Amino acid sequence: MSDPSGEMRELAKKLLENGEVDRIIGWEKGNLWYQSPPLFITRAEETDRLVFDDFAINSLVTYLLDERDSGKKTGIFVKGCDSRGLVRILQDKQIARESVYVIGLPCSGKKDPRQALSSGASESSQVPPAAKCEECLYPNPVIYDVIIGEAVEAKAKGDRFAAVKEIEAKTADEKYAYWTSQYSKCLRCLACRNVCPACNCRECAFDISKPRILAKENNLSHNMVYHLTRAFHAAGRCVECGECERVCPMGIPIMQLNKKIIKEINDLFGPYEAGVKLDETPPPLGTYQTSDPEEFM
Amino acid sequence: MKRVGVFVCHCGSNIAAVVDCERVAKEAAKFPGVAFSIDNKYMCSDPGQDLIKKAVEEHHLDRIVVASCTPRMHEPVFRRATENAGINPYLFAMTNIREHVSWIHTDREKATEKAIDLVRMAVAKVLHTVPLEKSSIPITKRALVIGGGIAGMQAALDIADNGNPVVLVEREPTIGGKMPMLDKTFPSLDCSACICTPKMASTDQHPNITIYTHSEVERVDGYIGNFQVTIRQKAKYVDHKICTGCGLCETKCPNKKIPNSFEAGMGNRTAIYKAFPQAVPNKPIIDAANCRKLTKDKCGVCAKVCPTGAIKYDDQDELITIDVGAIVMATGYDLFPWKEAYGEYGYGKYPDVITGLQFERLVNASGPTSGHILRPSDGKEPKTIVFIKCVGSRDDVKGKAYCSRTCCMYTAKHAHQAVDKIEDSHVIVFYMDVRTAGKGYEEFYQRTVEDGVHYVRGRVSKIYQLGDKLIVRGEDTLLGEAVQVNADLVVLATAMVPSAGSGEIAHIVGFSTDKDGFYQEAHPKLRPLETFTAGVFLAGACQGPKDIPDTAAQGSGAAAKASAVLSNRSMETDPLISQVNDAVCAGCGVCVGICPYRAIELKEITQRAGGKTIARRVASINSGLCQGCGACVAACRSGALDLKGFTNQQIMAEVDALCL
Ligand SMILES: Cc1cc2nc3c(=O)[nH]c(=O)nc-3n(C[C@H](O)[C@H](O)[C@H](O)COP(=O)(O)OP(=O)(O)OC[C@H]3O[C@@H](n4cnc5c(N)ncnc54)[C@H](O)[C@@H]3O)c2cc1C
Ligand code: SF4
Ligand code: SF4
């Protein structure tokens, strides 16, 4: 893939200069070779800092929520996975389509800084592709105003639900042992929630004090309340960007549960992928229909 | 300090036989907030209710818990008792220690412990209740009936007799629906038109009924008690205020060969026409598509002959808006389009393969053949007639999976009429089953068999024309042998399907249809005439295939339901409905699509954020529509929605009471 940074900078500069957007969200090169953190700029002079290298893995779309009441227009760079998150936020009516200028970047896979660190590599070429990118079905943005670079072919191999089937094969006791061992690791840093494009409420249920559904103390019982509730709140809405699992400092397989729910929805309501079409008919869990399956009644 | 009173009921021995009620009351006295507790033999009796009143006075109680039977049964009684004792009726919680405990458990010790837990939860819940007030919404005392078949007429007449004005909207130029097309009706064989046309006339003449024929409902806004309806009165090209209905125009119209849908295509009409002589209103309209004046600006003969000058070639559609409080849906049925599905019966290319409705017109004395059964191809009297039942019914490959309910009976009627009217006739009915559930129905069918009608169990696999005969091939599954009949006429009992456009009108009015497109009732057994939309009721074949007695009964039933709504100036609404916390609501709108009652809309609010005033959208609940089902509360992730009387906080308190 050729380096699109030049084009990105030029476009960003133009957008800021002629006042089409008030700010740009992209990536810049960090202090370490394996970091490309988010970059927020409002001045045309700063656009030279923009990069799109192997480590531009963060989705930037949840930053749009910070400006939802500002009335400002943002130019934002999105990869395929990020763009589905953007569709989520738009469908949830948290920002208006007119308030973003979307610059699409086809992506053939990024690398995970943590893997760079743990693999002992000293340069990018030695780092394996990020785990979430191995399962990517949408390397090209599904929504954009302009696109930079050539479309990329999806290379996902294997079964979308392989990890789910692993769990399904376990007995109830084994499942319980598995999940409790995972959830007991959780620090409740809430990084997974904060990065999730589907977690876009103004006030998160976990932060509301009356009624308090999640106690502050960190114990298995409350960690489970946290994780199960989080998964249900994302049910039918998770866009499979994999950001939650990527950011978890404890390596909890968060996507495994998300995918289990996605699989259930597919089985019950037919094939469904969230965040792919902006103007889709209401999603399966977002409508009331008398024909909805109700096997328990 | 909140002061809760707990009342534990024995229900005679219903509860006390398994639960130690005295112990439950003693334990309850120790729960936080409980100021008084007692057990009693019958809480719902007058002395039981007085007990609440006395205890409130003596112990200054401000909240009540009753542990007894299901709230379905006596919750209203205890709410009233609470209110009579001077406490807001919603500062009350009921817990069920009968159905949930004594009737399903035998171990006295464990049952008692469970009852104690349930009371503990109810006390925790009631401590978090707040006083709620009923609100009221005004009711427009007028009903709308959509569809003027027997269902719609019956409903309109009954509502009107109840003293309320009714607007009846019918899209055809006449009311009546299918019934006046029929000849005789099973099982009594009385003349259909003779019982239907008087109903049509009464509907027309009723001072409380306004009829809009040749009209359709285009838009419905609002909610129970307060619907705003827009009706499109399609151009009639005849001023009905002036027209006397003399019919001269019809005799002079040169365009005489237009198939008349009232004759099910068996007879013709002119471009200016009344569907049939007893049409209501008994005045013609011009069918614009076939009128030479309106299409080619030629002719104009009707205007010339009309003695009153009623013809108005420049007539336009008119939009009429009315307010109504209740709506009855009575849009009836159509027949399954068999020609598109049944290749083995010739896809409609043989003129002597007709439907039951066409047969009705053939035997009808006022029909195109003056009641002589003559076959369409050559006008000869058929001797051998084959009836085929379940065409499109009970056939989930080509047609519908369901049974159309009326065909067994009307085929028996037709077979009887054929034998009766045609000498030396040979009548064969191919059937899958004979279903005659109904008063006098089985007797009627038996009589048909005694008349000499030959019933063959089996489906017909092929019909083809050979000379002037229709060769009907099928199987007699009882004898296990192939059957061939050389027939003169074949009559298909085609399935009843929802009338054309019923899905659209359901969408306009705002309720749902079932998998076959029939209107969805709120509960198949207990609320068969209601929809999920408050104030919208169902009558007749639009809800599912049915015959005239059932249709008329539903018409009256729906009228009773609608009249109940209209009987008050205003309607109290239950305060146990959903509420929105604007500050928390993110305006994502997931609840809008979830609500089965369309009670939620997004509305704009302004608020201060980041030092300036912003406008944003939040959910808003219509108290007239919300039924308090709680679906939205479960769907709302941030917890901005909450169900009054069942708040998240109350439920969490119950859970905590049980688990902590
Ligand atoms: C061949 C045949 C023979 C039958 N014989 C018998 C019998 O002997 N005895 C018996 O009990 N039953 C019989 N039936 C059944 C009988 O026809 C029905 O039970 C009855 O007509 C149902 O009445 P309805 O008012 O529900 O519907 P319909 O008669 O269909 O009336 C519905 C009316 O609503 C109007 N409409 C539809 N959509 C709209 C709209 N969107 N806006 C405004 N108006 C609309 C239609 O134009 C129509 O006028 C027979 C049926 C068939 C097919
Ligand atoms: S990111 Fe990991 S540790 Fe943090 S809350 Fe989520 S699961 Fe727990
Ligand atoms: S409680 Fe039920 S009826 Fe009321 S607004 Fe919510 S979903 Fe609709």
**Residue B5 parent element (H or E):** strand B4-9
Ligand 3 center to B31 CA (angstroms):
33
Q: With bands split at pLDDT 50, 70 and 90, how would you rate the model's confidence at A295? A: low
Domain B143-234+318-332+499-566: which CATH class? alpha beta
Worst-scoring range by mean pLDDT, A266-270, B150-154, B392-396, B630-634?
A266-270
**Cα B579 to Cα A178, B541, B616, B627, distances in angstroms:** 39, 38, 18, 12
Interface with A, mutate which of B531, B588, B626 (most A CBs under 10 A): B588
Q: What whole-number percentage of chain B has pLDDT above 70?
A: 100
| pLDDT (average), residues A251-279 | 93
Ligand nearest to the CA of A252: 2
pLDDT tens-digit readout, B639-657 = 999 999 999 999 999 999 9
- A39 neighbors A50 (Cβ within 8 angstroms): yes
Atom 37 in ligand 1: which residue has the minimum CA distance? B331
Chain mean pLDDT for chain B: 95
Atom 30 in ligand 1: which residue has the minimum CA distance? B332
A210 and B649 within 8 Å at the Cβ level: the answer is yes
Give the pLDDT score at A1: 53
Nearest-angstrom CA–CA distance, B182 and B149? 12
Domain boundaries for CATH 3.50.50.60 within chain B: 143-234+318-332+499-566, 335-497
Answer yes or no: is the C-beta of B631 below 6 A from any ligand 3 atom. Answer: yes
Give the pLDDT score at A291: 67
Give the pLDDT score at A215: 85
Residue closest to B126 by CA, chosen among B660, B659, B657: B657
Ligand 3 center to B601 CA (angstroms):
11
Residue to probe by mutation, ligand 3, list B512, B532, B597, most atoms within 8 Å of CB:
B597
Worst-scoring range by mean pLDDT, B131-135, B265-269, B322-326, B569-573?
B569-573
Q: What is the ipTM, given to two decimal places? A: 0.91
Please give the CATH number for the structural domain made up of B578-644.
3.30.70.20
Nearest-angstrom CA–CA distance, B574 and A83? 44
- Joined together, the tokens standing for residue B413 give 């009627």
Q: With bands split at pLDDT 50, 70 and 90, how would you rate the model's confidence at B221? A: confident
Answer yes or no: is the C-beta of B536 below 6 A from any ligand 1 atom. Answer: no
E runs forming strands in B495-599: 496-498, 536-538, 570-573, 578-580
Give the pLDDT score at A293: 67
A92 and B588 within 8 Å at the Cβ level: the answer is yes
Question: Who among A71, A94, A211 is closest to B648 (CB)?
Answer: A211
| pLDDT (average), residues A135-140 | 91
Query: CA triplet B221, B225, B226: central angle to 5 degrees?
Result: 35
Q: With bands split at pLDDT 50, 70 and 90, how would you rate the model's confidence at A135? A: confident
As a whole number of Å, the end-to-end CA separation of chain B is 22
3-class DSSP state of B658: helix
Q: Which residues of A touch B639 (CB under 8 A)?
A: 205, 208, 211, 213
Q: Within 13 Å, how many C-alpha atoms sit on residue B154's CB side? A: 26
| pLDDT (average), residues B167-193 | 96
B605 touching A, CB under 8 A?
no
Domain ranges for chain A, please list them. 7-147, 162-286
Q: Over 50: is that where the pLDDT of A297 sits?
A: no
pLDDT tens-digit readout, B575-617 = 999 999 999 999 999 999 999 888 999 999 998 877 889 899 9
Give the pLDDT score at A288: 81
Nearest-angstrom CA–CA distance, B382 and B490? 10
Chain mean pLDDT for chain A: 92
| pLDDT (average), residues A80-96 | 96
Ligand 2 center to A251 CA (angstroms):
8
User: What are residue B401's phi and psi, to 5 degrees?
Assistant: -75, -20
Give the pLDDT score at B179: 97
Interface with A, mutate which of B637, B647, B651 (most A CBs under 10 A): B637
Give the pLDDT score at B97: 98
Q: Over 70: is that where the pLDDT of A49 sits?
A: yes
pLDDT tens-digit readout, A96-110 = 999 999 999 999 999
Q: Over 90: is that where the pLDDT of B625 sits?
A: no
Strands B578-580 and B226-233: unpaired
B617 and A93 within 8 Å at the Cβ level: the answer is yes
Query: What homologous superfamily does CATH list for B335-497?
Result: FAD/NAD(P)-binding domain (3.50.50.60)
A69 and B610 within 8 Å at the Cβ level: the answer is yes
Q: With bands split at pLDDT 50, 70 and 90, how would you rate the model's confidence at A290? A: low
pLDDT tens-digit readout, B530-555 = 998 889 999 999 999 999 999 999 99
CATH topology of domain B4-126: Rossmann fold (3.40.50)
Residue B646: beta bridge partners?
B643
Q: Over 90: is that where the pLDDT of B94 sits?
A: yes
